Structure 1
Amino acid sequence: MFRVLRYLFVLCLAAVLVVLALANRPLVTLHALPQEAEEFLGFTYAVDLPLFVVIFGAMGAGLVIGLVWEWLRESRYRSAARGNARKAAKLDREVQKLRGASPETKDEVLALIEDRT
């Protein structure tokens, strides 16, 4: 059921993007710098692209920037999780080591409890 809904959503999204691209086919000129800065620096770079390429490129750049921002912001949580996982593994090894200890080294209280049962 969810697979069908997912495919339906992707199909609708693709249709919307195709319609958006077809509606925004005229060429636009993108300049690297504002006109005053280009004149001052003597550096001019401009490219003519269809408007939908500019729109999709801006959306893609926003997604990438957002993903990188979140990855950097959550690095402390990932670091804490790794530290907790190391600590848990160390404690698990210690528990396994103590469970495998010989009967001579058992705690006296534990030995008394085990003798009752």
Structure 2
Amino acid sequence: MIRFLKGLVLLPVTIAVILLAVANRDPVRLSLDPFSPETPVFSLTLPLYAILFGAVALGIVVGGIFAWLGQGRARRQVRHRGREIRRLEGETARLKAYAPPEPGTPGAMPNRTALPVPR
């Protein structure tokens, strides 16, 4: 069901992207030199769709980096809690090894608290 919905959303997006690329094939000069607009030192001549797709890809990468950095505190807490869980599981196993067996199990000692105390 999710695959169908994903396809239902991605198919129109794919068609729109292909139409955008076909409609914007003309080369455009991208100048990276703000001080000399007539004769830029750093410029590229690319199709407009390539510049748009590059800008979107750069936005996705930068957004992903900032999202990853923003989740640092949560990842640190997960690591800390994982170490604490492993420590407590080890302590529980160690205490179970030294605990007396439960009454009614083979090899268990009789319940001594039920014996009468001499006066």
* 2:89 is the alignment partner of 1:68: no
Consecutive unaligned residues in structure 2, runs of 5 or more: 102-109, 114-119
Task: Report the counterpart of residue 36 of structure 1 in structure 2.
Answer: 36
For normalisation by structure 2, the TM-score amounts to: 0.76
* Residues 16-43 of structure 1: CA deviation (Å, up to 9, x unaligned): 110111121111101121143897xxx7
User: CA separation in 2, counterparts of 1:80 and 1:33?
Assistant: 45
Task: Report the counterpart of residue 86 of structure 1 in structure 2.
Answer: 83
Q: Secondary structure at the match of 2:68?
A: helix
Task: Report the counterpart of residue 25 of structure 1 in structure 2.
Answer: 25
Count of residues in Structure 1 that have an aligned counterpart in Structure 2: 104
Task: Confirm or deny: 8 A CA contact 2:28 2:46 kept in the other structure.
Answer: yes
Cα 1:32–1:56 shift into 2, 3 Å: same
Q: Which letter maps to 1:5?
A: L
User: CA separation in 2, counterparts of 1:48 and 1:37?
Assistant: 14
Q: Secondary structure at the match of 1:33?
A: coil
Consecutive unaligned residues in structure 1, runs of 5 or more: 105-113
Task: Confirm or deny: 8 A CA contact 1:38 1:44 kept in the other structure.
Answer: no
CA offset at residue 8 of structure 1?
A: 2.4
Q: Secondary structure at the match of 2:63?
A: helix
% identical aligned pairs:
32
Q: Secondary structure at the match of 1:100?
A: helix
After superposition, the CA RMSD in angstroms is 2.5
Whose helix fraction is larger, Structure 1's or Structure 2's?
1
